[in-house]
C-alpha cells in the first residue's frame, strides 16, 4: 500500500530522509524501527569534490516552529564517501541518494562522475550553492544557471537526477521548466528558506555564518505552495517530486501528496523524534484505508482548487 516507483527506483514507503539530517546514513540506520523499511530512501549529507570543514560556530539555532542551520557543507569529499562510506551501507534496506554540491558547474559534473561509478541509487543536485564565477550568486536562484548545472550533471551520469529547488527565487515554476528541458528526472521541493537570528545584547548574528537556512514547521505553508506550483509544470511530463518542508505528521505528509508530491521528505522532525517514521507511515495507511484507496500514488496531485473570487487580491 505504501510502496511506489520513483524514477525507476522502488521505494518501500513514500518517506525520504533528507540530506543533512542523517549524516551519511550509517547513523540513522541504527535507530530502532528503521530496518522495517520505514524509509523509502535516504539522502546522504551534501558532498563536494574536496573535503570541507564547514562554517564557524554557531551552526544551529532553534527558532519558533523551526530551526536555522549554517553547517557549511562539512564533508570528507566525494572520493572518501564512495570509497570508505558507501561500502558500509546496506543497500538492501533502502535506496541511498547522493546529494552533490559545487561552486562551479565543472565541480558539480566531476562530483557526479565520481558517484556515477558507485552503487548509489540516484543523485540529488543541491543548486542552492553560490557560483564563485558569477560573484557568489546562487545557482538555484537563476533558471539559466540551474539549467547549466543540470545539463552538466546529466552528461556526467547515467543515474536518476533529482534537482533540489530553492524557494529563494521569484519563479520556481519557471526554474523547474528549464531544469526539465536540461534533463532532470525529478525534483525535491523545497530547500530551506534563508533567515537570520540576532543576539540583542551583543547586537551580532547568532550564527557564525550570519545567516542560515530555515527549516521546520514554520516553512510548511510556503513549501506546500511551491510544491503545487512545481507540480503544475511536472504533471505533463510525468516528472515526480519529493515534497518537503516542515513535515511532522501523517497529516502534513498527506497534504504534500495531495498537492502534487509523489514522495515526502522528513528532516527537522527527526531531531526531536527519531522514531517518527513508523507513526507517519501508520497515519498514511489509515487515511488510505478510510478513503478506499489501495496505494499512495493514487493521492498524488488530487488537490481540487477553489474558484477564485474577483477582487481577492491574490
Instruction: Judge if the upstream peptide bond of residue 190 is cis by omega within 30 degrees of 0.
Output: yes
**Which of 21, 129, 179, 234 does the annotation list as catalytic?**
129
DSSP classification of residue 245: S
Residue 229, φ and ψ in degrees, nearest 5: -65, -40
What are the distances in angstroms from CA 311 to CA 50, 205, 304?
A: 54, 41, 21
> Do 32 and 275 form a contact (C-beta atoms < 8 A)?
yes
What cell numbers appear for 199 in the block? 543576539
What is the CB neighbour count within 10 angstroms for residue 21?
20
What cell numbers appear for 93 in the block? 534496506
Catalytic residue list contains 21: no
Please state, in angstroms and rounded to a whole number, the distance separating the CA atoms of residues 241 and 193. Answer: 18
What is the CB neighbour count within 10 angstroms for residue 57?
10
Please state, in angstroms and rounded to a whole number, the distance separating the CA atoms of residues 280 and 268. Answer: 14
Instruction: Please identify every residue annotated as catalytic.
Output: 129
Amino acid at each position: 500500500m505504501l510502496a511506489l516507483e520513483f524514477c525507476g527506483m522502488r521505494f518501500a514507503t513514500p518517506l525520504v530522509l533528507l540530506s543533512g539530517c542523517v549524516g551519511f546514513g550509517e547513523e540513522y540506520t541504527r535507530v530502532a524501527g528503521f530496518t522495517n523499511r520505514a524509509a523509502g530512501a535516504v539522502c546522504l549529507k551534501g558532498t563536494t569534490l574536496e573535503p570541507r570543514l564547514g562554517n564557524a560556530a554557531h551552526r544551529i539555532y532553534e527558532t519558533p516552529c523551526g530551526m536555522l542551520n549554517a553547517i557549511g557543507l562539512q564533508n570528507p569529499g566525494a572520493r572518501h564517501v564512495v570509497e570508505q562510506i558507501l561500502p558500509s551501507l546496506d543497500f538492501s534496506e533502502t535506496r541511498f541518494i547522493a546529494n552533490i554540491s559545487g561552486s562551479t558547474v565543472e565541480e558539480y559534473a566531476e562530483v557526479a562522475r565520481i558517484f556515477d561509478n558507485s552503487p548509489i541509487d540516484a543523485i540529488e543536485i543541491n543548486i542552492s550553492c553560490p557560483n564563485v564565477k558569477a560573484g557568489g550568486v546562487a545557482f538555484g536562484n537563476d533558471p539559466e544557471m540551474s539549467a547549466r548545472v543540470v545539463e552538466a550533471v546529466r552528461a556526467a551520469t547515467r543515474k536518476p537526477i533529482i534537482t533540489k529547488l530553492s524557494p529563494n527565487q521569484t519563479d520556481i515554476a519557471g526554474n523547474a521548466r528549464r531544469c526539465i528541458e536540461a534533463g532532470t528526472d525529478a525534483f525535491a521541493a523545497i530547500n530551506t528558506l534563508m533567515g537570520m537570528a540576532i543576539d540583542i545584547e551583543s547586537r551580532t548574528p547568532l550564527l557564525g555564518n550570519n545567516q542560515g537556512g530555515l527549516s521546520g514547521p514554520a516553512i510548511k505553508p510556503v513549501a506546500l505552495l511551491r510544491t503545487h506550483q512545481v507540480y503544475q509544470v511536472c504533471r505533463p511530463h510525468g516528472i515526480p517530486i519529493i515534497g518537503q518542508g516542515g513535515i511532522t505528521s501523517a497529516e502534513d505528509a498527506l497534504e504534500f501528496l495531495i498537492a502534487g508530491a509523489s514522495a515526502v521528505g522528513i528532516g527537522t522532525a527527526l531531531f526531536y523524534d527519531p522514531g517518527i517514521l513508523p507513526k507517519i507511515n501508520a497515519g498514511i495507511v489509515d487515511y488510505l484505508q478510510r478513503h478506499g484507496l489501495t496505494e499512495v500514488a493514487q493521492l498524488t496531485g488530487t488537490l481540487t482548487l477553489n474558484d477564485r473570487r474577483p477582487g481577492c487580491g491574490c
